[in-house]
Amino acid sequence: MANIKLLFTCPHGGKNDDGTKNDDGTPINPPIIRRYTIPPDNNICPAAEGEGFNDINDKLTLELTQAIVKNITNLSGKDPYAVYAEFNRRWIDYNRTETCAYEQHSCNSKAQEKYLIYHNNILQIIEEMLPQGDNTMAFLFDIHGTDRERSPEPPHHFIELLVGTDQANSRKALTDAEFWNEEKGLIPLLGTKNIRAYPEHLSQEIHKFPLDGGYI
């Protein structure tokens, strides 16, 4: 089946805890040490830049991402690309820079290996979707969970979908009109399907950005 130029990543849905205990391991199967025995220095992994320590895994984001991919395949007859986290966030946070993603320990080579495999897979897929000289568009959707349930301003509507765009930097291929246009824009289109998304208009996107993504 042909592929469609859509890539879905799910960095915080990993469930595999095998071999991740802080023990001696073996040279062939070294351990992955739980992140961090001591939380990292805020100057190294500043929370304000999305690097702050958090070891709570997102709930059901893996299942959600897999369902989205399956539905797109059923509707279009084409397969989206997908990259899923293998390990729980307690051991590897794939949505952080390498310094902040796992315990920086001399015997923690397996964590580094798994982290680099994840990100190299993403880069290889992007190169496949957009080979050199290709001027078409491709899209990467990084799927996360959140404990935010309502919009930050009155009347504090319940939110079904938070759309983070890194203050519009990660959607530069789309114009404001394509994103917000009442007839064909992404956010208004979701509204016609009775899905309340946030931000609901451009000024909210620029000034609020309650969940704007991390390293990916």
Q: Where are the alpha helices (DSSP H) in the chain?
A: 61-76, 98-101, 109-129, 176-180, 186-192, 202-207
| H or E element in which residue 166 lies | none
Indicate if 97 and 25 belong to the same structural domain. yes
79 domain residue, yes or no = yes
85 domain residue, yes or no = yes
Residues facing 84 on adjacent strands: 10
189 domain residue, yes or no = yes
Interval 68-73 mean pLDDT:
96
Interval 59-75 mean pLDDT:
95
Interval 142-164 mean pLDDT:
86
How many folded domains does the chain comprise?
Answer: 2
Indicate if 160 and 90 belong to the same structural domain. no
Query: What range defines the domain where residue 195 resides?
Result: 147-207
Q: Which of 204, 186, 207, 203 minimizes the C-alpha distance to 195?
A: 186
pLDDT reading at 16 higher than 70: no
215 domain residue, yes or no = no
Q: Tokens 């009109």 appear where?
A: 177
Per the prediction, the chain carries an average pLDDT of 84
53 domain residue, yes or no = yes
State which of 96, 129, 162 marks the end of a domain: 129
pLDDT reading at 114 higher than 50: yes
Indicate if 115 and 151 belong to the same structural domain. no
Residues facing 16 on adjacent strands: 87
| pLDDT for res 19 | 44
The 3-state DSSP class for residue 80 equals strand
135 domain residue, yes or no = no
Instruction: Quote the DSSP letter at residue 16.
Output: B
Each residue of 171-214: pLDDT tens digit? 877 777 778 888 788 888 888 888 888 888 777 777 766 667 67
Indicate if 100 and 33 belong to the same structural domain. yes
141 domain residue, yes or no = no
| pLDDT for res 203 | 78
Indicate if 22 and 119 belong to the same structural domain. yes
Interval 17-26 mean pLDDT:
51
Indicate if 91 and 183 belong to the same structural domain. no
pLDDT reading at 140 higher than 70: yes
pLDDT reading at 34 higher than 90: no
Indicate if 194 and 91 belong to the same structural domain. no
Residue 115 or residue 179, greater confidence: 115
Separation CA 112–CA 97 (nearest Å): 11
pLDDT reading at 14 higher than 90: no
State which of 102, 129, 156 marks the end of a domain: 129
Residues of the chain with pLDDT > 70, as a percent, come to 89
Interval 29-42 mean pLDDT:
76
Indicate if 64 and 155 belong to the same structural domain. no
Residues of the chain with pLDDT > 90, as a percent, come to 33
Residue 64 or residue 56, greater confidence: 64
Indicate if 15 and 104 belong to the same structural domain. yes
Indicate if 45 and 95 belong to the same structural domain. yes
| pLDDT for res 169 | 80
Residue 205 or residue 51, greater confidence: 51
Using CA atoms in the order 95, 97, 101, 104, what is the torsion angle rounded to 10 degrees? 170
The 3-state DSSP class for residue 68 equals helix
165 domain residue, yes or no = yes
pLDDT reading at 20 higher than 50: no
